[in-house]
Amino acid sequence: MKITLLRKMSTSELATLVGVTTQTVNRWIRKHHWATQKVMGVQGGRGRVIVITPAVRDTLAITRKLRKLTLRLQAEEPDPFYQAQENDPLLRKIQAKLLKMTTTEKQRLLDLLERDDRSAVLMHVSMAEPSE
């Protein structure tokens, strides 16, 4: 589940999102020196919004409610998604071989991938090639 943060949020919006009180958010503003901006038309200095910066995101990310979620800022570039093309012949062959593997073979391959880095895995593959 992903939560999208606006570029600027009020203390009450942020408190509701994170599951804390507005007083806690105000304390974080003072403690971490978060940037805030005045809201036009609200008197008494209470009309302020928090500018959501990476420092704010880092503080929010460690709260109990959001610890296991991914925070994104609205209107920022989307997270890069690295995936092989579906028409990639290598991907199709690997997938076909994986589907034919037994559970034991899959577990051994998974153990190998977790234990070794890419170069070690490639070395194992080259060792498994038939000699010419």
Q: For position 9, what pLDDT does the model report?
A: 86
Strands 70-73 and 2-5: parallel
**28: three-class secondary structure by DSSP:** helix
Higher pLDDT, 22 or 67: 22
pLDDT digits (tens, 9 = 90+) for 69-121: 655 544 445 555 555 556 778 778 888 888 898 989 988 888 877 777 767 77
Check if the beta carbon of residue 58 is closer than 8 Å to that of residue 43: no
CA 54 centroid distance within chain = 13
pLDDT for 27 equals: 92
Structure confidence at residue 132 (pLDDT): 45
